[in-house]
A and B are shown apart, each in its own frame.
Chain A
Amino acid sequence: MKTFGIAIAVIIVIALGIAAWLLLIPGPIAFASGSTVALSDYTGANPTGVPKELAQADVIKRGEYLAHAADCIACHTAPGAPAYAGGFAFNLPFGTMYSTNITPDKETGIGNYTDQQFLDALHKGVRADGQQLYPAMSYTSYAYMTDADALAIKAYLFTLPAVHAPARENRLSWPFNQRGLMAAWNLFYKSDERFRPNPAQSAEWNRGAYLAEAMGHCGECHTPRNLAYALNNRSKFAGALTAGWRAYNISGDKAAGLGDWTDADLSTYLSTGHADGHGGSAGPMGEATDNSLTFLTPGDIHALVVYLRSVPAQQSDLPHTMETPAPASHREGATAGMDPRGEQVFAGACAACHDWTGVSPTSKYATLTGVRAVNDPSATNVAQTIINGVNRQTAEGTIFMPGFGEAYSDDDIAAVSNYVTTRFGAQGAHLTANDIASLRKQAAQQ
């Protein structure tokens, strides 16, 4: 009987240990060697605030820069609707949630928020009426933001035109529609702790860490989540599927991640959304580029590169990208003998710009060779790009590809996605019409 009791006790301890290991996860910058200190005790260059170019700017200009760096607009703007007026749909496994209006409208926006209420929302996920926000608002990341930076963002937001746009009702299933339950989640995942620099790392690293974690919240898409849907930093930046698009592995892994990118390519990609040989950003990363990263100064982009470079390699099941173009003739190459439907769609809709080789004679942005999405055997982002197209406004002009979602059937889109990944990538996909229907649903703004 006694042995039995001990066995039960051991099992309970092991179970609690496993539960704790699963639920308690390291902080986002815990991977780096050296220990962190409070910002006030840090003697290096200030990693927070605006870059030196804007040091003398007024609070609104500084707030504008920081709002871009934190990419508030991405989630707080619905397609085709006024900026910052909310209504963007998050399609989650437990239902659909909508972002809210953060224009200074007093009735439906944040016009009545005091500084403290704004800080509570950003740092603690508590809104003005005291209710919990869902962590779709990435307060676990913004908690690292300094009060001064958060309030500069507020000052900028308060200069925007007030838009009357009431919040749309979330459609979440039980028990997720019980906001109060977020209190339990917060016990594990809310730190409400400002950014703590790491003196063992360089000033640039610390600036990059602040930009990536407190502001840009890269991990919200690029880090896989655990069972409680919190970011699992044990697999930091290993890539994840978010809203029907794959946010790729941006750890140092040579095959799947950024390990084989040069610093110059990484800088160019972050600041323009394109690097020759790696392709361009589309979908949510296209938005992150155009709404946020292109506004960062070269110094801040460099800091991000330094920081990204330091993130330990995380393996994932992506092959190394294929860097040789396909043959010029449609009859040759890995697609020989495939279902002719994919080739027919490609010939009619795609070959004119993308070429049978994958190297576009029209625009470097249309080259498929070396692009991560094309070298992803799930073809998730290839299919999404075909469905939704690309429409980015950049310094070099508009980067445009039409969306084919309305013109082609799910069968056609599956066939051409499989064809493109087979012909131009390292490993072909095997999508079906059902997969395409599911991808459409996951990314839909409803």
Chain B
Amino acid sequence: MLRLQINGEERLVGDDVDPKTPLLWVLRDHLSLVGSKFGCGVAQCGACTVHVDGKPVRSCQLTVGNVGAKAVTTIEGIGKTPNGAKIQAAWMEIEVPQCGYCQAGQIMSATALLNSTPSPSDSDIDAAMAGNICRCGTYIRIRQAIKNAAAKSV
């Protein structure tokens, strides 16, 4: 039995789950948290990004056995954090998403960026967001929404 700390709650995962299973599979298939998306499965697209102890991590590469007692935040819980709420509001304000598939990951990476860098430059945004791919090409709106969110006081 694994005890995971997800979005501030303890979630139990039964022995039927191999500790080598990637966290993303456990979130989606066992805990019904389907906001995090499977994109590439090799940490190259960013659609599965969650926070583990505040750091953005590709949940398709992190095994559930390695999560331990660390605090996991998913797209379902990020709106309860100050920067997560700001980012989501900024996203809606200028309608960033197009198809939306990558956006959960984009919002998780953008929130982590604001957490570590409250007023990010273009270069900071590039460094933090380059690993999150959007096939609709919403990058320009993503950049703008991050700047808008940063400009708002908490």
Evaluate whether A402 and B62 lie within 8 angstroms (CB atoms) in the complex, with A351-B127, A356-B127 already known: no
- Measured in the bound complex, the distance between the Cα atoms of B61 and A363 in whole Å is 8
Interface residue ranges of B1-60 to A (CB < 8 Å) = 20, 42-44, 46, 49, 52-53, 55-58
Nearest Cβ distance between residue A66 and chain B, in whole angstroms?
A: 30
In residues 45-101 of chain B, which contact A (Cβ within 8 Å)?
46, 49, 52-53, 55-58, 61-63, 66
When distances are taken between beta carbons in the complex, the residues of chain B under 8 Å from A27 are none
Chain B proximity of A358: nearest CB distance (Å): 14
Q: Count of A-B contacts with CB under 8 A? A: 58
A83 vs chain B, min Cβ distance (A):
24
- Is A171 an interface residue, CB under 8 A from the partner? no
Residues of B within 8 A of A366 (CB): 61
User: Contact size class for A?
Assistant: 20 to 34
Q: Mark A400-419, 1 if CB is under 8 A from B, else 0.
A: 10100000000000000000
Complexed CA–CA distance, A349 and B46 (Å): 10
Q: Is the CB of B44 within 8 A of A328?
A: no
How many Å from the CB of B16 to the closest CB on chain A? 17
> Which residues of chain A have C-beta atoms less than 8 A from B56's C-beta?
352
Nearest-neighbor residue (CB-CB) of A389 within chain B? B42
Q: Does A353 touch B at the CB level, under 8 Å?
A: yes
Interface residues of B in 90-128 (CB under 8 A from A): 116-117, 123-124, 126-127
Interface string of A235-254 (1 = CB under 8 A from B): 00000000000000000000
A73 part of interface (Cβ distance < 8 Å): no
* CB-CB under 8 A for A353 and B43, given A328-B116, A347-B130, A348-B131: yes
20 A-B residue pairs with CB within 8 Å: A330-B123, A330-B127, A331-B123, A331-B127, A344-B126, A349-B44, A351-B130, A352-B46, A352-B58, A352-B131, A353-B43, A361-B53, A362-B43, A363-B63, A363-B66, A366-B61, A396-B20, A397-B63, A400-B42, A402-B44
- A-side residues, CB < 8 A to B, are 328-331, 343-344, 347-349, 351-353, 355-356, 361-363, 366, 396-398, 400, 402
| B contacts, CB < 8 Å to A | 20, 42-44, 46, 49, 52-53, 55-58, 61-63, 66, 116-117, 123-124, 126-127, 130-131
